[in-house]
Structure 1
Amino acid sequence: MLNGLKVGDKAPIFEGLDQNGKKISLKDYKGKKVVLYFYPKDNTPGCTAEACNLRDNNTLLAEKGYQVVGVSIDSVESHKKFETKFELPFPLIADIDKKIVEQYGVWGEKKFMGRTFDGTHRTTFLIDEKGIIAHIIDKPKTKDHYNQIIETWEK
């Protein structure tokens, strides 16, 4: 991980606004299992595939006690359009000031098509009921993220 967070660490407490302008905090999920997924950008092919895979399996995740929360540096307005377009049933936190991505160590240098730039590294943190990082998926499979979460958490 970029900032050294590892399995067994206490998950950093975050707070931000979701696509509806509602304040969301990790504290809201105390006693629940959280799938905290960081993604680079709304409405891009990989991020859309990942969000839709989680959407399509959200009921199954909820039945197992998992709460999905997405985070990117896009605005509340961008998240609202993304949520509406793809009927996403979970909160998307607008981390425009990059506080959460930096807390979780997923902001940093990336390379894409010969370019080097700073951006969000696609990463998912599986946080247990006590707020401890149970697993870190640092290479999410965008089209099969649900199965990856279940296989990782339930092995």
Structure 2
Amino acid sequence: MGLKVGQAIPEFSLPDQQGRLFNSEDLKGKKSFVLFFYPKDNTPGCTAEVCSFRDNYEAFTELGAEVVGISSDSKASHNRFSSKHKLPFILLSDLGGKVRKLFKVEGHLLNLLPGRETYVINKEGTVEMVFNSINASRHMEKALKALKKI
């Protein structure tokens, strides 16, 4: 199981879909954010998940939060995926899964599939909510509900 509620998130840096370096510390002290780990670009479940975050992105920003997706796909794959689905948020490329390991996100189906796990993180960088489910459809609503409680 991944990080727990109340734990500080580890600092990390990864390239986004544009090749810019994202550093988790840049959000610390400024805004809450949702970090969702998903298995793979352009798969039915993952596409549904990212599109649910896209369709509700304004609700997250109105609450002062940023949305960040992360998978082991390449920057180029993320760029195509983001453009195709007009995603307004950042996708991070975690080639090799180092950040996935930092967050202790476990795989599914005997570790054949990368895990699907969503974190809501407050301004101080502390985990407020963790939701782990291979079912992509509930991640966005769980995250939004948790953000409203912060």
The TM-score, its normalising length taken from structure 1, stands at 0.88
CA contact (8 A) 2:32 2:64 kept: yes
Q: Which has the higher strand share?
A: 1
* Deviation per residue, 1:39-62 (Å, 9 max, x gap): 000000010000000001111110
Cα distance in 2 for residues equivalent to 1:140 and 1:88:
21
**Aligned-partner residue type, residue 15 of structure 2:** L
Give structure 1 regions of 4+ aligned residues with deviation exceeding 6 angstroms.
none
Structure 2 letter corresponding to 1:152: A
Residue equivalent to 1:7: 5
Task: Answer whether contact 2:121 2:128 (CA < 8 A) is retained.
Answer: yes
Measure how far apart 1:96 and its partner are: 0.5
Corresponding letter in the other structure for 1:36: L
| Alignment match, 2:148 | 154
The alpha carbon displacement at 1:150 in A equals 2.2
Q: Paired residue for 2:35?
A: 36
Does 2:136 align with 1:137? Answer: no
The residue number in structure 1 matching 2:63 is 64
Partner of 1:98: 97
- 8 A Cα contact 1:73 1:98, kept in partner: yes
The alignment-based identity, stated in percent, is 39
Once the two structures are TM-superposed, the CA of residue 144 in structure 1 deviates from its matched residue by 4.5
2: CA distance, partners of 1:107 / 1:23: 25
Query: CA–CA distance in 2 between the matches of 1:117 and 1:64?
Result: 35
Q: How many residues align?
A: 148
TM-score by length of 2: 0.91
CA distance in 2, matches of 1:16, 1:106: 17
Q: CA RMSD in A?
A: 1.6
What is the rounded CA distance, in whole Å, between the counterparts of 1:152 and 1:46 in structure 2? 22
The farther-off stretch of 130-139 and 39-48 is: 130-139
Equivalent residue letter for 1:92: L
Assess if the C-alpha contact under 8 Å between 2:128 and 2:146 holds in 1: no
What's the counterpart of residue 51 of structure 1?
50
Gapped regions of structure 2 (runs ≥ 5): none
